[in-house]
Amino acid sequence: MTACAQQTAAPGKSIAQLRADFPILAQRVHNHPLVYLDNAATTQKPQVVIDAIADYYTYDNANVHRGIHTLSERATAAYEGAREKVRAFLNAASTAEIIYTRGTTEAINLVAQSWGRNQLQAGDEILITALEHHANIVPWQLLCQQTGAVLKVAPVLEDGTLDPAAFAELLGPRTRLAALVHVSNALGTINPIADMVAQAKAAGALVLVDGAQAVAHEPVDVSALGCDFYAFSGHKIYAPTGIGILYGREALLDEMPPWQGGGDMIRTVSFEHTEYADLPWKFEAGTPHIAGAIGLGAALDYFRALDQAALAAHEQSLLAALTGGLTGIPGLRIIGTAPNKVAVVSFVIEGAHQADIGKLLDSLGIAVRVGHHCAMPALKRFGVTGTVRASCALYNTVEEIERFAGAVTRVREMLL
């Protein structure tokens, strides 16, 4: 039995068997078996998700909410059924709190423009961290330009963990919102998000959590967490691109004005007055990504049926293999060595450009991401403008990581 077949992540299912659920993984790239280590950018889709999307278009395709015919009723039931699956996944109190968006980016922009633009005044503060993805920086910068609010940034320590003292110090009476990344996409750091939320709430701020990198790796319970908003993207958790979620506390969403206007978000419209639809539809103007929502529901069904404790143990073995395999390669520096990390490793090699490393790894069938990972300020903190990043998902194996580490050694020798 191979090491790969021995790793298990689902009751009665080995990692090798789980891999078979993802048809894309079976291919060869440049005549090598594909090793896909770009999962922080996007994850691959299991056949059940692909089938759910294909079935929807094959049998049920119709617009939602508006039709009285059978196909529209089926499409609506599937679309709204997926919302309930998301509610259960996040442990939100009600489906009224689950808003479909295009992804994390759109969810954060929705909060910035609907809540922030109406609530913030000059001198109010928004606190983020130095680990944020651009999606949790730029919307707040735009909001600051619009309102005169001020963006504050909590620094990170040398190992890529948040500086807890500085974070506590930056939270003050002027902090109206803390917008915090749960797991860093660039470094893999898992933030102590429950503590951070509790501290920010105690300081009187609202809290938005960017959960894009967390949902497939960390348990998320928005009720226990007590955050006001939680955003994530379907495509980071084995669902399609173009669909994401904004969770918001119902009382807060109720008070917020719509962000976009159009069909589906209204109850009545006249030229004099428009009455908006109830939650969550008030925030879902226009024909939504119906197939995407259905695919997200299927992905969450798939993911939640897996043994989460086994997945977490598997992830830690991948992280150990990654860190162990790369440590000791001459001139290689791992950026982000926090004690609490997901299986993401960012690194640079002295004298070798990341783009060349990435291209040569691709020629060996290994997919990694190189560049700034949409987190330029986080990398700047470590004195680099880009890294090579290997990021794992549930279907990666220790054997693949060993192949990857061997390939990095070879590529380094080719380049230097």
Q: Is the peptide bond preceding residue 280 cis, with omega within 30 degrees of 0?
A: yes
Of the candidate spans 208-216, 246-254, 336-344, 401-409, the one that interacts with ligand PMP by CB under 6 A turns out to be: 208-216
Residue 104 interacts with ligand PMP (CB under 6 A)?
A: yes
Assigned token pair, 327: 């440590």
Residue 213 interacts with ligand PMP (CB under 6 A)?
A: yes
Nearer to ligand PMP, 210 or 218 (CB): 210
Assigned token pair, 180: 């915090």
* 102, 176 contact by CB (below 8 A): no
Cα 216 from Cα 223, distance rounded (Å):
18
Nearer to ligand PMP, 22 or 230 (CB): 230
Catalytic residue among 144, 227, 374, 392: 374
Strand 150-154 to strand 125-129: parallel, antiparallel, or no bridges (unpaired)?
A: parallel
- List the one residue from 15, 75, 135, 360 that touches ligand PMP (CB under 6 A): 135
Residue 181 interacts with ligand PMP (CB under 6 A)?
A: yes
374 is catalytic: yes
Least distance CB 289 / ligand PMP (angstroms) = 13
Residue 285 interacts with ligand PMP (CB under 6 A)?
A: no
Cβ-based neighbours of 313, under 8 Å, separated by 6 or more: none
Residue 210 interacts with ligand PMP (CB under 6 A)?
A: yes
Residue 171 interacts with ligand PMP (CB under 6 A)?
A: no
Interaction pattern, residues 217-246, with ligand PMP; x per rule: CB under 6 A? ----------------x-------------
How many residues line the site for ligand PMP (CB under 6 A)?
13
C-alpha torsion 23→28→32→36, nearest 10:
-40
Residue 256 interacts with ligand PMP (CB under 6 A)?
A: no
Residue 105 interacts with ligand PMP (CB under 6 A)?
A: yes
Least distance CB 108 / ligand PMP (angstroms) = 7
* 66, 72 contact by CB (below 8 A): yes
Cα 211 from Cα 33, distance rounded (Å):
31
Strands (E) across 160-271 are located at 175-181, 206-210, 229-233, 244-248, 266-269
Conformational region of residue 239, where left means phi above 0, alpha means psi within -120 to 50, and beta covers everything else: beta
* 107, 246 contact by CB (below 8 A): yes
Residue 39 interacts with ligand PMP (CB under 6 A)?
A: no
Residue 76 interacts with ligand PMP (CB under 6 A)?
A: no
- List the one residue from 154, 212, 296, 361 that touches ligand PMP (CB under 6 A): 212
| Cα Rg, the chain, nearest whole Å | 22
Least distance CB 211 / ligand PMP (angstroms) = 8
* 38, 369 contact by CB (below 8 A): yes
Least distance CB 335 / ligand PMP (angstroms) = 16
Nearer to ligand PMP, 7 or 105 (CB): 105
Q: HEC states along 374-409?
A: CCHHHHHCCCCCCEEEEECCCCCCHHHHHHHHHHHH
Q: Identify the DSSP state of 57.
A: I
DSSP 167-199: HHHH--TTEEEEEEESB-TTT-BBP-HHHHHHH
Residue 296 interacts with ligand PMP (CB under 6 A)?
A: no
Nearer to ligand PMP, 336 or 365 (CB): 336
Nearer to ligand PMP, 213 or 396 (CB): 213
Residue 292 interacts with ligand PMP (CB under 6 A)?
A: no
- Residues belonging to the active site: 374
| Chain residues in the site for ligand PMP (CB under 6 A) | 103-105, 133, 135-136, 181, 185, 210, 212-213, 233, 374
